[in-house]
Every structure is written in C-alpha cells, then in structure tokens.
Chain A
Amino acid sequence: MPLTYALLVLAAPASGHASLTAARFARALLARGHSLQRVFFLDDGTLTGLASAVAPQDEQAPLQQWVSLAEAQQTELVLCISSALKRGLLDSAEASRHERPAATVHPAFELGGLGLLVESAQTADRLVTFG
C-alpha cells in the first residue's frame, strides 16, 4: 500500500551522514511508489538550506541532493523559521526585514513555522526523524 511520508531532519549537513542518509531514504521511498509530502528541517538541520555551502569535490554535497529532490519530485523543503534565522539563514524577505546584506537560503527551500511539522504529523502516514 503506498504511504505518505514526511521527514524531520535535525542533523547539520556537514556533521556526519544523517543528512545524506535522509536524502537517500527520500529517494528510496519515492522509488518504491510512496509519496513524500514534505521535508521539515529543524535545529541544526536548517543549515542544509545554506545556499553558499561548498562541499569538497570528492564528497557528496547534501545541498545538491536535496535541491535535486525538490526539482525532480516537487518535494517541499521547509526550514523552521526560528531555527533558521538564528543561524543566519534568511530568504530575501527576512534579509530585508532584519537589514542583513543578502539572502542566504537556497531558493529550493522555504521558511515556515513549526505548525507545518505539526500538520505533517497529522497528514502523513509516516513521519521519520533523521538527527
């Protein structure tokens, strides 16, 4: 039976393998015919959306893994807004509101409140944490 999944990512992209594991899990569930409603990034997980991250050439870049999921599968990628702002992750609206020089969030991600995570808990069949 196809299930609706949502993921919660707490791990920072450059700390260990959890972020890459989450992206692989996302691909695997889609490949099996399930649907992925939303990926919610919270706490250090919000660093995943940092547009300026540069991975070493011989390593997989978590940012690219997530961006390609968003582009190919229309997966919604949401950064918790309060976790994100603390860590300097701003879209253009927040950058101008807080008078910061530039937006830092990759356009494949959006900022949103914890209510979206709570909503996912109600609407998804499975909500899986990676942290």
Chain B
Amino acid sequence: MTAPAAAGRKSILVASRHAHPGSSLPRSALDTALAAAAFDQPVTLLFLGEGVLQLLPGQDSGAAGVRNLRKVLDSLPLYEIETVYADAAAAAAFGLPRDALPPQIEWLDAAGMQALLDRHDHVLGF
C-alpha cells in the first residue's frame, strides 16, 4: 500500500478526472503531486473518469502545442511516486488497452477507490 502516513505526516491523494490536453487541470494535478513528492510528503495519484485517458500510450501533443503529459507520468518513479491508481471501470468504458499502459498502475474498482480515499488525510480533486 502506498502513502503511509509516516511520522505524523499527512497523506495527500491527488485525484485527476479530466482528459488532457483539453483541460489545464491534469497538468496542475501532476505539478501538485510532483511538488508534494519534492518536499518528501506522502502523495498518491488517482486517475478516474475521463482522467484515465491521460494514461494512453503514443500521445503526441506536440502538434497541438502542449506538453506531452504521458512523459511526465513515465518519470514519476524518479520522484518516488511508484504506484499510480486508476479507475478500472473507466478504463474499460473507454476501451483502454491495458497492456500498453504504464506498468506501475494499480487498477481499482469502486470499492477500492472508496478505500483509497478513506485512507488519505487530504483529497485534492482536479
């Protein structure tokens, strides 16, 4: 299990529920998670609803003139964000090919997401 509330530190769950690049919120969610990790705070990322589309492989947002977020996602282990959680029902609804998605994802059903929210001190919804 991720984000242990170590030594009195409060754990943060960053929940990302918008698709990129149609919204600036996915980038802000990632920036927030990276900032928390940079300050050694326990942080967990959850992609739910349309947010799971951020996980798609082969994204090329260069022609759209915006940064490729999947590259940022692939760099998360460098920031010691090892596990990323995602909404299994949304992935199925959007027909995401699981074998092409980042390997560190742990898929959750509704009860799993409820438990994840429950065990964090703060939930930030982007």
**Chain A contact residues, CB within 8 Å of chain B:** 8, 10, 42-44, 80, 82-83, 113-115, 117-119, 121-122, 126-127, 129, 131
Does B122 belong to the interface (CB within 8 Å)?
Answer: yes
Q: Is the Cβ of B28 less than 8 Å from the Cβ of A42? A: yes
25 contacts between A and B (CB under 8 A): A8-B124, A10-B25, A42-B28, A42-B32, A43-B28, A83-B28, A114-B32, A115-B39, A117-B32, A117-B35, A118-B12, A118-B32, A118-B36, A121-B10, A121-B12, A121-B36, A121-B121, A121-B122, A122-B41, A127-B122, A127-B124, A129-B123, A129-B124, A131-B25, A131-B126
- Report the count of interface residues on B (CB-CB < 8 A): 18
Q: Is the interface of B mostly helix, strand, loop or mixed?
A: mixed
**Minimal beta-carbon separation of A70 from chain B (angstroms):** 23
Which residue on A lies nearest to B24, using beta carbons? A43
Does B125 belong to the interface (CB within 8 Å)?
Answer: yes
Q: Which residues of chain B come closer than 8 Å to A8, judged between CB atoms?
A: 124
| A129 with B125, Cβ < 8 A, contacts A114-B35, A121-B12, A122-B10 known | yes
- Tell me the bound Cα distance from A42 to B31 in angstroms: 10
Which residue on B lies nearest to A44, using beta carbons? B24
- Tell me the bound Cα distance from A58 to B72 in angstroms: 44
Per-residue contact bits, chain B 23-56, to A (CB 8 Å; 1 contact, 0 not): 0110010011001100101000000000000000
Q: Which residues of chain B come closer than 8 Å to A121, judged between CB atoms?
A: 10, 12, 36, 41, 121-122, 124
Which single member of A44, A118, A131 contacts B35 (CB below 8 Å)? A118
**Minimal beta-carbon separation of B5 from chain A (angstroms):** 11
**Minimal beta-carbon separation of B6 from chain A (angstroms):** 12
Does B67 belong to the interface (CB within 8 Å)?
Answer: no
Q: Which residues of chain B come closer than 8 Å to A43, judged between CB atoms?
A: 24-25, 28, 126
Per-residue contact bits, chain B 92-126, to A (CB 8 Å; 1 contact, 0 not): 00000000000000000000000000000111111
